[in-house]
Amino acid sequence: MSSCDSCIVRNSAICAALDSAEVEALNTLGRRRRLAAGESIIWEGDESVLVANVIEGVLKLSAGTEDGREQIVGVVYPSDFIGRPFGGTTRHSVTALTDANVCVFSRADFDSFAQDHPALEHKLLKRTLTELERTRDWMVLLGRKNAEEKVATFLLDISARLVEPGCEAPSGVPLGNFDLPFSRQQVADILGLTIETVSRQMTKLKRDGVIDLPSRRAVIIRDRTTLEDLAG
């Protein structure tokens, strides 16, 4: 695996908790892997045999229903950690939504390394608690928010992770300029809405000047304050 010193998520991934010598030791256990859009790296129901840091790209966490339908239960972005450390069966599949680069470790090797490096275990605990808070927030979104609030919240959440730096209005207010890694149908599935409802809400936001949709996947947030108000 190439040197961790040149890794673009070195200062934001879980390995940021380690010093240079520890990072180099972890480096010997891992390998880079390139994923094409649509390629899975972890499968629901399998034994947990690997974990990984996301370096580039966006991946989805999904679970299947008994009748074969897919439910997207989470999204991971660069610097996020995927997999289940310390054993067990994986509860969801992990699939690349875009072309992606990940730093992969054998779960057994990573577990052993983490046990010998409390700072890494502490970082994992903090990540877990953050994900728990995000999951609780998502429960509120799904259970209490209306369609307009759901779509607005979703766009804000995506822009917080994918927004291009330096994109500002003349007033200096940060905008959002990103490509959705989801189809409209996937957005609908995530939010518990129909694809028609998602399309209507996106069209309304565009008509009101809150966002712009220059292409099928591209989104530009023109009025973040209004979008935040609509998100409730």
Q: Do 120 and 158 share a domain, yes or no?
A: no
Backbone angles phi, psi at 184, to 5 degrees: -60, -35
pLDDT tens across 176-192, in order?
A: 788 888 888 888 888 88
Q: Do 29 and 96 share a domain, yes or no?
A: yes
SS3 (DSSP) at 152: helix
Task: State the pairing for strand pair 59-64/70-76.
Answer: antiparallel
Element (H, E) at 63: strand 59-64
Residue with tokens 């207010």, as numbered in its chain: 173
200: domain CATH number?
Answer: 1.10.10.10
pLDDT tens across 139-182, in order?
A: 777 778 899 999 999 999 888 887 644 444 444 444 578 888 88
For the entire predicted model, the pTM comes to 0.79
pLDDT tens across 85-123, in order?
A: 888 889 899 999 889 999 999 999 999 999 999 988 888
Q: Do 124 and 212 share a domain, yes or no?
A: no
Contact (CB, 8 A) for 83 and 41 = no
Q: The tokens of 211 are what?
A: 């966002």
Domain end, chosen from 103, 121, 140, is at 140
Domain end, chosen from 106, 140, 174, is at 140
The tally of domains found in the chain comes to 2
Whole domain around residue 157: which residue ranges? 146-230
Mean per-residue pLDDT for 52-78? 87
Residue with tokens 């010193």, as numbered in its chain: 5
